[in-house]
Chain A
């Protein structure tokens, strides 16, 4: 069994191409069924975000599986030809496919490294696949591991810390001045998009009062509704400047609308409580001389950009640590996948032991017809105990050998030759263990489901 991934991302394709590959949410189920209809695809997860469209699949032969997924993707849109799509597609198989998924889920492959949305998107796509019975033992395990790796990366590194968007940088800087923003007051001067975005972030961080002022009363009313704020007439806003802890300025005026004298007066009226001013207008709206006023902190677009760039650099350094975590966890999954190669042989051995036990019991029961129920139960228990003990050592050795060998089939074959098994299948080429429990319950740990399958076979 091989895990493969085929897809396009922001690194290999334009947004126009990715748009063509995107499947509307209402038709995701149909797309998954189309993918799973291909005979070379045993399991599949269809992952789509604004920056990537990928298919993760489990297949017997890598090339056949990749061809099937390419065919599936090329059929995504009528206007998309295979010739146009192929140059942009990348493919990974085996450990590289697992590594790729772990990096994607951990946001190491994102356009903005460390962005938090991708993990939710990976979870949602995995849930879709589970709902449509497309993921099985292997992809369940790999995706659940990817989600846990992403969480580990988030908690053990600082990759998600610090803002990398200009609007969010304003929040971080405000927190460096005020600490907790709860209960603070922000004044929005003008109705520029960037200021509105920053204001939304600030309100999200506990800023309670929003004062709004703009020359255009109609736009002002729209913003009052949006932020549940208080409108201040443009002519009067300077007189109320002292009420604002944070001032966000983004008017279309070609000149300064706030000067150092007004800010100095406001700070005095605030009894020297600090004021934080952000000027996101171009040309600037706040006189740079405001920087000289004590307890007033002015930041313009260049300052915010510089802050963001510093944070980006920090994230790049943390990403190196995150890659180490990903490498470790890929090793864990690969070892688990290796051990899966022994599963069909283990099931066969258990079936064989059960059959031998039952045959010998039948013979014994035929000879002693007047056995009581209690005696029969004791004999059955004895036979089961002997069979289990005889098998235990062999099974443990088989699992170890498969886990540690590069080609598990050799050990599995050797074990198969020791016993007259009915089905001498090549362990490496066997069908995946797909138990109904894995498909109907996406939350159930796949490894546990595999074990359950084995146990049920023993009980037969």
Chain B
């Protein structure tokens, strides 16, 4: 059942991605509206999938990395839909939907069965939820940064093409970038703190220096520098866009770190 719902969601997101990319190549807004409808349908089915993933079995939600990625993907789509409905930024779909699709598609190849954990581990779902929401903030900042760099390049090279017309003004993208990090950073900070606390409770140490923890701390420190740099030395506009695009690599490496740790450890932590 879960597999069928997952496939249906993936189907909607894939179609939404194709339509959103098609919108970039066509003048009309009609494709964007169709893409929006498909994405809404995908999000609805995805909500059902998440409910299945959370409440099936005896385990606490999110303890498998696959489920956490599914939540990440769902949150991205919710943010996308909010931005589209509120700001009419249809173009965001062409950049965010592929990310959501890839995140969800990767869950299909990851182990999905939840393992029964010690009751102490149950606090881990708060850590995962907060960290994933933080990652969503950085993903949106990454998309805003990427769009900024493209628009910057189009303006500098005087290419007044369809993509130039459809991408938002630089100032809008810079503010989206800033707000996403301002929201994502405290969430990641809290997520890391919760992770450290749960590690202390269960393993007796706040940190065990595995690849996930190292990359999470590196990413956290990087985004702290980006935030402080914006306020203290004016790292904004193109520089901020470059930094957030690079910073998202840290997020992806942290994800990979979790994955490798899952394979090497008998329990999910």
What residues make up the interface of A, taking CB atoms closer than 8 Å to B?
158, 173, 175-180, 268, 270-274, 291, 294-295, 297, 299, 303, 306-307, 310, 314, 317
What residues make up the interface of B, taking CB atoms closer than 8 Å to A?
27, 151, 155-156, 158, 160-161, 164, 168-172, 233-239
Measured between beta carbons, the chain B residues less than 8 angstroms from A268 are 234
Contact partner, A179, options B156, B160, B172, B235, Cβ 8 Å: B172
Measured between beta carbons, the chain A residues less than 8 angstroms from B171 are 177-180, 274
Known: A176-B170, A178-B171, A274-B170. A303 touches B238 (CB 8 A): no
A175 to B151 Cα, complex, angstroms: 13
Q: A173-B155, A270-B234 are in contact. List 16 more A-B contacts (CB 8 A).
A: A158-B27, A176-B155, A271-B233, A271-B236, A272-B236, A272-B237, A272-B238, A273-B236, A294-B238, A294-B239, A297-B156, A299-B158, A306-B158, A307-B160, A310-B160, A314-B27
* Residue picked from A173, A176, A178, most chain B C-beta under 10 Å: A176
A178 to B173 Cα, complex, angstroms: 10
Q: Shortest CB–CB separation between residue A74 and chain B, in angstroms?
A: 46
A99 to B169 Cα, complex, angstroms: 39
Measured between beta carbons, the chain A residues less than 8 angstroms from B172 are 179
Q: Give the residue name and chain of the B residue nearest to A179 (CB).
A: B169
Question: Are the C-beta atoms of A175 and B169 separated by less than 8 Å?
Answer: yes
Measured between beta carbons, the chain B residues less than 8 angstroms from A310 are 160-161
Contact partner, A272, options B156, B161, B164, B235, Cβ 8 Å: B235
A61 to B24 Cα, complex, angstroms: 54
List 15 interface pairs A-B (beta carbons < 8 Å), by A numbering.
A173-B155, A176-B151, A177-B171, A178-B171, A179-B168, A271-B233, A273-B236, A273-B237, A274-B171, A274-B237, A291-B156, A295-B237, A295-B238, A307-B158, A314-B27
Measured between beta carbons, the chain B residues less than 8 angstroms from A299 are 158
Known: A175-B169, A272-B234. A306 touches B156 (CB 8 A): no
Q: Shortest CB–CB separation between residue B244 and chain A, in angstroms?
A: 14
Closest 3 CB pairs of A and B: A271-B234, A179-B169, A179-B171
Q: Give the residue name and chain of the B residue nearest to A318 (CB).
A: B27
A209 to B69 Cα, complex, angstroms: 49
Question: Are the C-beta atoms of A297 and B234 separated by less than 8 Å?
Answer: no
Question: Are the C-beta atoms of B160 and A306 separated by less than 8 Å?
Answer: yes
A272 to B238 Cα, complex, angstroms: 8
Q: Shortest CB–CB separation between residue A207 and chain B, in angstroms?
A: 14
A53 to B168 Cα, complex, angstroms: 42
Measured between beta carbons, the chain B residues less than 8 angstroms from A306 are 158, 160
Question: Are the C-beta atoms of B27 and A303 separated by less than 8 Å?
Answer: no
Question: Are the C-beta atoms of A176 and B169 separated by less than 8 Å?
Answer: yes
Measured between beta carbons, the chain A residues less than 8 angstroms from B168 are 179
Measured between beta carbons, the chain A residues less than 8 angstroms from B237 are 272-274, 294-295
Measured between beta carbons, the chain B residues less than 8 angstroms from A294 are 237-239
Q: Give the residue name and chain of the A residue nearest to B242 (CB).
A: A294
Known: A274-B170, A297-B155, A306-B158. A176 touches B164 (CB 8 A): yes
A272 to B235 Cα, complex, angstroms: 7
A306 to B154 Cα, complex, angstroms: 13
Q: Shortest CB–CB separation between residue A114 and chain B, in angstroms?
A: 15
Q: Give the residue name and chain of the B residue nearest to A306 (CB).
A: B158
Measured between beta carbons, the chain B residues less than 8 angstroms from A177 are 155, 169-171
Q: Shortest CB–CB separation between residue A381 and chain B, in angstroms?
A: 56
Measured between beta carbons, the chain A residues less than 8 angstroms from B161 are 310
Q: Shortest CB–CB separation between residue A137 and chain B, in angstroms?
A: 39
Measured between beta carbons, the chain A residues less than 8 angstroms from B151 are 176
Measured between beta carbons, the chain A residues less than 8 angstroms from B170 are 176-179, 274
Measured between beta carbons, the chain A residues less than 8 angstroms from B158 are 299, 303, 306-307
A173 to B170 Cα, complex, angstroms: 11
Q: Give the residue name and chain of the B residue nearest to A162 (CB).
A: B165
Q: Give the residue name and chain of the B residue nearest to A311 (CB).
A: B160
Measured between beta carbons, the chain A residues less than 8 angstroms from B160 are 306-307, 310
Measured between beta carbons, the chain A residues less than 8 angstroms from B27 are 158, 314, 317
A272 to B164 Cα, complex, angstroms: 22
Q: Give the residue name and chain of the A residue nearest to B232 (CB).
A: A271
A173 to B155 Cα, complex, angstroms: 9
A201 to B169 Cα, complex, angstroms: 19
Q: Shortest CB–CB separation between residue A192 and chain B, in angstroms?
A: 22
Measured between beta carbons, the chain B residues less than 8 angstroms from A273 are 234, 236-237
A177 to B156 Cα, complex, angstroms: 11
A270 to B158 Cα, complex, angstroms: 24
Q: Give the residue name and chain of the A residue nearest to B160 (CB).
A: A310
Q: Give the residue name and chain of the A residue nearest to B231 (CB).
A: A271
A1 to B230 Cα, complex, angstroms: 73
Measured between beta carbons, the chain A residues less than 8 angstroms from B239 are 272, 294
A314 to B170 Cα, complex, angstroms: 23
Measured between beta carbons, the chain A residues less than 8 angstroms from B156 are 291, 297
